[in-house]
C-alpha cells in the first residue's frame, strides 16, 4: 500500500524529514517521535505514514502497525503508569489533523517529572 501524504501536513513533513523531530522508532508503516510540548517526561507520539485525519479513516494495516510501537515505547521508557490517548475532531481536542497516538508516562510525586 502506498502511503498518502499531504504537502501541507505538519506530521507528513516530520515523516519526510522536512521538519526535524526526535525520532524514536520507525517502521515501513509508522513513525514515532517525542512530543514537542510534553505533558510529562518521555511523552511520545506514534503516527501512521499514511495521512488520515481520524482513526476510522485509517486502513487497518496502519492501525495494526502502530500499537506494537506504542508498546515498545512504554517498555523502553520503563514506566509502569501511562496513558495511550488518541483524539479525533476538534471537540475531542484534536489539534493536528493526522492520526496520532499519544504515549504519556505518568509519574508519582516522588518520581522525576520532566
Grid cell digits, residue 13: 513533513
Known active-site residue 56: no
Residue 27 binds ligand 5GP (CB under 6 A): no
How near is the Cβ of 110 to ligand 5GP at its closest, in Å? 26
How near is the Cβ of 35 to ligand 5GP at its closest, in Å? 5
> Torsion angle of alpha carbons 30, 35, 17, 46, nearest 10°?
0
**What Cα–Cα distance (Å) separates residue 93 from each residue in 27, 64, 65?**
27, 23, 24
Q: Which residues in this chain contact ligand 5GP in the complex, by CB under 6 A? A: 10, 19, 21, 33-37, 87, 93-96
Amino acid at each position: 500500500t502506498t502511503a498518502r501524504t499531504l504537502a501541507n501536513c505538519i506530521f507528513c513533513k516530520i515523516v519526510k524529514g522536512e521538519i526535524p523531530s526526535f525520532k524514536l522508532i520507525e517502521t515501513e508503516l509508522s513513525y514515532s517521535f517525542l512530543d514537542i510540548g510534553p505533558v510529562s517526561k518521555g511523552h511520545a507520539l506514534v503516527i501512521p505514514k499514511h495521512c488520515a485525519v481520524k482513526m476510522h479513516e485509517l486502513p487497518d494495516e496502519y492501525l495494526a502497525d502502530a500499537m506494537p510501537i506504542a508498546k515498545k515505547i512504554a517498555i523502553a521508557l520503563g514506566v509502569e503508569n501511562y496513558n495511550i490517548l488518541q483524539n479525533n475532531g476538534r471537540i475531542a481536542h484534536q489539534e493536528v489533523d493526522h492520526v496520532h497516538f499519544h504515549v504519556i508516562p505518568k509519574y508519582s510525586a516522588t518520581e522525576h517529572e520532566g
